[in-house]
Structure 1
Amino acid sequence: MRRICYIHGFNSGPESAKAQLVKNYFQGKTEVMLPRLALAPELAIAQLLALCGRDGNELVLIGSSLGGFYALYLAEYYQCPAVLVNPLINPKKYQQGMVGTHINPYNSKKIIVTEKAVIQSFDYICPEVKESKRYLVLLTKDDEVLDYRDALALFASESCYVSVAGGHAFTDFADWLPKIEQHLQLWD
């Protein structure tokens, strides 16, 4: 199986519940990378490109929320498969929610995000989906942070699974791990 890079969302980290579920589920099956990303999107993308290397042939991506946006960008860059969990599709639509002071729930670090920094950071990162069959997109209708219909509009319906409940955290993520593994094995 290809290497997996799990990409966390805004103000999250490799200690998140989904990251740990991915790590534990795939442990012993393949290498799982759980990077702690820089806050600035351009730095996070550079960090991910350096971590993943030059060749995407042996890579699969799993990204949640803002991490789903990064995973989409990288999957198009590398032409590799990806699983997107309640992905952020249009950062500019949600940038106001990123502005302000935040406390990371995993390491208690305080971060301050300015409007100027967020707007400038997302100006150049605009992924387009060229081959939707490479994607497995997991969405919840009751996502309290992002509108799941943004992802539905971007991806072919056969790539998307929409749950009625689970919120932005996608609380039944563990139940989807076998389906995620099945999708990723299609590309071996």
Structure 2
Amino acid sequence: MSALEQKQRPLLIYLHGFLSSPQSYKCQLMRERLAAEHPRIVFCAPQVSPYPAIAQQSLVALVERFLNSGGCGPIGLVGSSMGGFWSSYLAERYGLPAVLVNPAVHPGRFMPAYVGQVLKPYSGESQEYRLTEADVDTMRQLDGELRQPLRGRYWLLAQRGDETLDYRDAETFYRGQRQTIEDGGDHSFQGFARYCEPIVEFLFNQQ
């Protein structure tokens, strides 16, 4: 691979859900599939802070670092749950394609329920978080920046059996975009492995 080809490799950014981590099942599965079947695609799965201001700053810096690296290839986003919101935020800001898996829509509406609670990552890490009203205000501000018509190119993957988020919110918000909504399932999105290859095709046109 030439130096130019190395610089122009596509980048897939996977964004996990609230209090989850890059060690989540879907994230690791996507990483393994790309390594085995699409080694030219660079895989990036950052740890996304539950604090919205920190998350926004770090994710914007990540994308801009890649865009400013010179001769970069295409960028595609995959986001699960809260990661779906952040993927949409980045897709709108930079005009990127994104696949959203049971995404959080308008998270500023449900974040107040977590204010003041001691929050621990689902991955079992020892770190703790505590959201404040200022975090809620920041989330609502960022939430309000996502407006119709959407600039990005989206594929919504949702399951009606999602016990955490109402799939109808996403169905409505991403109306006019590609949608696959399945009966049954749950918030983790059962059978995600079926979509790994189609996701790559959607994001990178089989590159």
Normalised by the length of structure 1, the TM-score is 0.89
Q: Is the 8 A contact 1:133 1:159 kept in 2?
A: no
SS in 2 for 1:61: strand
Pair 1:16 & 2:24 matched: yes
Q: Counterpart amino acid of 2:98?
A: A
Whole-Å Cα distance in 1 between the matches of residues 164 and 133 of structure 2? 21
Q: Counterpart amino acid of 1:124?
A: Q
Give the aligned partner of residue 198 of structure 2.
179
Residue 74 of structure 1: which of 68, 90, 100 is its match? Answer: 90
Q: Is the 8 A contact 1:132 1:155 kept in 2?
A: no
Pair 1:152 & 2:171 matched: yes
Residue 61 of structure 1: which of 62, 77, 82 is its match? Answer: 77
The structural deviation recorded for 1:172 is: 1.0
Query: Percent identity over the alignment?
Result: 30
Q: How many residues align?
A: 188
Q: Counterpart amino acid of 2:193?
A: A
Pair 1:168 & 2:187 matched: yes
Q: Is the 8 A contact 2:102 2:157 kept in 1?
A: yes
Q: Counterpart amino acid of 1:76?
A: E
Shift in alpha-carbon separation, 1:116–1:131, aligned structure 2, 3 A: closer
Shift in alpha-carbon separation, 1:98–1:22, aligned structure 2, 3 A: farther
Normalised by the length of structure 2, the TM-score is 0.82
Whole-Å Cα distance in 2 between the matches of residues 93 and 7 of structure 1? 20
The structural deviation recorded for 1:128 is: 2.4
Whole-Å Cα distance in 2 between the matches of residues 117 and 171 of structure 1? 35
**Unaligned stretches of 5+ in structure 2?**
1-8
Pair 1:31 & 2:48 matched: no
Whole-Å Cα distance in 1 between the matches of residues 51 and 100 of structure 2? 20
**Unaligned stretches of 5+ in structure 1?**
none
Q: Once superposed, what is the RMSD of the aligned Cα atoms?
A: 2.2
Whole-Å Cα distance in 1 between the matches of residues 148 and 83 of structure 2? 16
The structural deviation recorded for 1:29 is: 3.3
Shift in alpha-carbon separation, 1:7–1:129, aligned structure 2, 3 A: farther
Whole-Å Cα distance in 2 between the matches of residues 89 and 52 of structure 1? 22
Pair 1:5 & 2:16 matched: no
Moved more, 71-80 or 42-51: 42-51
Q: Is the 8 A contact 2:108 2:139 kept in 1?
A: yes
Shift in alpha-carbon separation, 1:52–1:4, aligned structure 2, 3 A: same
Give the aligned partner of residue 108 of structure 1.
125
Q: Counterpart amino acid of 1:185?
A: F
The structural deviation recorded for 1:120 is: 1.7
Q: Which has the larger radius of gyration?
A: 2
